[in-house]
Amino acid sequence: MNKIQNLLLGLAVGDAFGIRYETMTRYEIPRVFDFTKYQRNPKEEWGNGAGEYTDDTQMSIAIAELLLSGKLLTKENFADYFVKTYKRDERNGYGKGLRITLPEVSDGKGLIAKLKTNSIRNGAAMRATPLGLLKNARLVIEAAMTNASVTHDTLKGKASSVCMALASHYFLHDVGPIDKLFNYCLELSLAIDPESTEYWTAIGDMKEFDPVLLFGEADKDYGVPCDGMRTAGAVLYLVTKYPDTVSVLKESVLLGGDTDSVAALATGLKAIQCGLDSFPEFLLRDLENGPCGRDYLIQLGEKLEKKLE
């Protein structure tokens, strides 16, 4: 597997495994945690089957396909691809704004016209990692800002998108050692949102696990909230603290809260660095493999590598 394939498969595996535990607290999860199989989320309204990924992976696929197309990375083109991937494979898991709007529109222009974009949640960050493929950090930052502007046009939305795209770029392009990842992301995103970078600096300096610092006082017993700044902080913490992809996946889920987004991002990023060899067999074998499933992700990663050579 090449690095891009590892990223895409890591995203999908983390997403599909993590969704079982979505919205459970970090105290509830250890009682039911099962690392032998995929499970569907017990909430019927979520509608996912065991081994199926959610909007996190679908929107990341949209960005990967946009990169493969060679089209300009404009706001409307991002939105077009979000609509396109949803329309061919409608699924649950989207936040309220997109869940209501995507079925109503036919293209990116329509999506942009209808969406409210004042959110600081993690929707822009969760899909940003394919942008790390771009050849230099300046392009990554510009594209990640545009990505956020479609749905999360706020300082925290943009900063979290940039942070996750830069982390991906760091691994995909072998920028430096793992212990320099925090500094790299911080230095390049500082001008976007000082509050986010101050928080990420504190996470990077955290010597012992501190749930109040990591999750915030209101969520200290819950886990990672659906917040762009805190999601990115949790992901950087996991990727730099744990040594291999499988331990990152497990610990992503055990943090609680928004388990599918955190597990997708952290597992995808760690898979670029360490590969997928530490995975138990079921994680790839039982990952969904329909028209846009496991084999499609492998093919997409192969095409992207050739395009970027």
Number of domains in the chain: 1
Opening angle at CA 112, ends 107 and 116, nearest 5: 140
- Residue 163's φ and ψ, nearest 5 degrees, are -60, -45
Question: Could you list the pLDDT tens digit for every one of the 309 residues in the chain?
Answer: 999 999 999 999 999 999 999 999 999 999 999 999 999 988 877 778 999 999 999 999 999 999 999 999 999 999 999 999 999 999 878 888 899 999 999 999 999 999 999 999 999 999 999 999 999 999 999 999 999 999 999 999 999 999 999 999 999 999 999 999 999 999 999 899 999 999 999 999 999 999 999 999 999 999 999 999 999 999 999 999 999 999 999 999 999 999 999 999 999 999 999 999 999 999 999 999 999 999 999 999 999 998 876
Q: Nearest Cα to 145, choosing from 133, 129, 159, 127?
A: 159
Q: What is the three-class DSSP state of 286?
A: coil
Between the alpha carbon of residue 206 and those of residues 62, 144, 184, 234, 240, the distances in Å are 35, 27, 17, 12, 12
- Structure tokens belonging to residue 98: 């997109």
Domain, as residue range, for 228: 3-308
Give residue 213's identity as a one-letter amino acid code. Answer: L
In whole angstroms, give the CA distance from residue 184 to residue 170. 8
Opening angle at CA 62, ends 60 and 64, nearest 5: 70
In whole angstroms, give the CA distance from residue 62 to residue 30. 33
In whole angstroms, give the CA distance from residue 289 to residue 142. 33
Output the DSSP codes for 256-274.
-BSHHHHHHHHHHHHHHHH
Q: Nearest Cα to 19, choosing from 90, 94, 86?
A: 94
- Structure tokens belonging to residue 13: 């595996």
CATH of the domain at 24: 1.10.4080.10
